[in-house]
Homo-oligomer: A and B are copies of this chain.
Amino acid sequence: MASIEQAITTLREISTEAGYISQAAAVLSWDQETYMPPAAIEGRASQQAILSALVHQRLTSDDLGTALQTLGASDATPTGNPSLAFMDSRLVRQLYRTWKQARKIPEQFIRNLAMATSQGQVAWANARENNDFAGFQPHLEKIVDLCRQKAEYLGYQGEAYDALLDEYEPGMNTTNVEGTFAALAGELAPLVTNCVRQSKNSPIDTDFLSSGFSIEGQQQFAASVMEAMGFSSERGRLDVSAHPFSTSLGRDDVRITTNWSDDLSRGLYGVIHETGHALYELGLGRELPSALASGTSLGIHESQSRLWENMVGRSREFWQHFFGRLQTIFPAKLQGKTADDLYRAVNRVQLSQVRIHADELTYSLHIMLRFRLELALMRGQLQVADLPAAWNAQAKKLLGAEPANNREGCLQDIHWSMGAIGYFPTYALGNLYGAMFMDQAATEMPKLWDNIAHGQFEPLRSWLQTNIHQHGLAKNAGELLQDICGKPLSHQSYIGYLRGKYQAAGKD
C-alpha cells in the first residue's frame, strides 16, 4: 500500500514538473505571437527546443514507467489497479496513455518531423503568398510520409488515419467520423440549398458591418461581451496576433488574442470564439492534478468555442441584449438599424471557398472536404501532386464551385504544413458536441434563452463548468456525452438546431 501511495506521488511530481515546464513554453509561444521582436526568432526556437525536450524526457522517463507499472496500468487495465480512488485512476489513465504514446516514437523521428514541419511551414507561407503549389509539394510529400510513419509507430486497429485522429480526439476512429459526416452531409444539403436560394431572392444587408468600426470602439464592446460571458481580467487578457488563438499559461492565466480590422463581425466573433475556449481552461477543477488540468479533447474544446460563438453569439437573444450597447458605442454606424438587422447580417448563408470566413451553416462542409482529402492521402489513394485537382473537384461538389486559385483552395490552411493531419475533423465534431450539450442545458434550464436575452450568461457558463469544464481530462469525450446527455455522439442535436434556425430563414 505504501508503494502505491509512493507511485501516485511519483506520478504527480513528474507530471506537475512537466506541466509547469509546458506552461513556461506556452508563455514563450504566446510572446512569440504577440510581442516578440522579429530578430529574436532564432533564439526563441532554441529556447523552445530545450523546453520541449525537458517535457519529453519527463513524460517518457523510466521512473514514470515504473510507477505506472506499480499502479497496474496496462493496455487491458488503462485505469490501473481497481482499488485506486477515481481521480488517481484517471491520472493513471492519462499518464499511461501519454507515456506509452511518447515511448513509441523514436527521438530521431521527432527531430525529423520537427525539422520537416518547421521547413514545411515556411514553404507553405511562401507558396500561399505566391499561389505556388509546386513550391510546397515536396514538403507536403515528406510530411505525409512522416505522418504515415508516425501512425505506424503509434499503431492502430483499423487504418493508419485512426492513429492520427486518436492523437487529437481520443476514442474517435475513421469509421465513426465517416459515418457521422455522411449523415450530417445528407441533412445539410437541402438546408444549404434553401438558404442559398433564399439569400439570392432576398439579399441580406451585411455591408453596414464590414467597415468603419473603430478598433477602440470594438475593443470596448468586446470587453463588455467577455465580461458578460464570465471572463475576468484578473485571470487572463486579450491581445493582438496575426491569427486569433487561446492559450493557457497557468491555472489562473488564460490568454486570448484577436486580429482587429474595421469589420465588426470578424473581430467580435473571433473574441467570442476564443473566450469560449478560455472559459473551459478557466473552469477546470481546482482539485485536478496537473496532468488532468486541461481540456479533454480538441473536439470538446471546439464545442465550447463554437457553442459560444455561434449558438449564443449569433442568436436573436444575444443581439436583443447587446444591440443597445453596440448602438451606444457606434451611434452613427448603426442609425436606423435594429437588433434583427444585426442578427440577420451575422447569420447570412453563403457558399464560399475560405473556411475561416465561412458562415455557421456551411462551415462543416469545409471540414468534410479536408477530411476526405487527408484520408485519401493517408490511404495512398491520392498523391500529393494530385491534391489541387482533387481539392477543386471536392470544392465543386461540396461548395458549389472551384476556388479561383490554390491560394484560396488547397493552400489556404496552415494545418498540413504543421503535420496536423487528423486535426480538421475535430472542428466539425465540436459543432455536434456543442449542440448536444446545449440541448441538454436548455432542457435542464427552461429559462436559458430568456436569461441570455436579458444579458444573463452566468447560468450557462456555470452549467458548462459544472458538467464539462471542471472535469478536465478526468472524463474523456465519450464519458462526458454519456454523463451529460446519456447517449453517444450523433448529429441529431446539431441538425435540429440548424433546422430551427435556418429552415425558417430558408423558406421562400
Contacts and interface: CB of A to CB of B under 8 A. Distances in A.
B37 A253 contact: yes
Interface stretch (A28-36, A428-436, A461-469, A475-483): A28-36
Contacts of A50: 17, 20-21, 24
A236 interface: yes
A77 interface: no
A234 B24 contact: no
Contacts of A236: 37
A56 to B, nearest CB: 14
Question: Could you say which of A24, A36, A236 has the most chain B C-beta atoms within 10 Å of its C-beta?
Answer: A24
A-side interface mostly: helix
A355 to B, nearest CB: 29
Contacts of A76: none
Interface string A23-51: 11101100100011111101110110011
Given A20-B50, A23-B47, A46-B20, A35 B253 contact: no
A92 to B, nearest CB: 23
Given A37-B237, A39-B235, A234-B39, A250 B47 contact: yes
A233 interface: yes
Given A21-B50, A51-B24, A35 B250 contact: no
Interface of A: 17, 20-21, 23-25, 27-28, 31, 35-40, 42-44, 46-47, 50-51, 54, 232-237, 239, 249-253
22 contacts: A17-B50, A20-B46, A20-B47, A21-B47, A24-B24, A24-B28, A27-B28, A27-B47, A35-B35, A36-B253, A37-B234, A37-B253, A38-B234, A39-B253, A40-B235, A40-B249, A40-B252, A42-B252, A43-B252, A43-B253, A47-B250, A54-B54
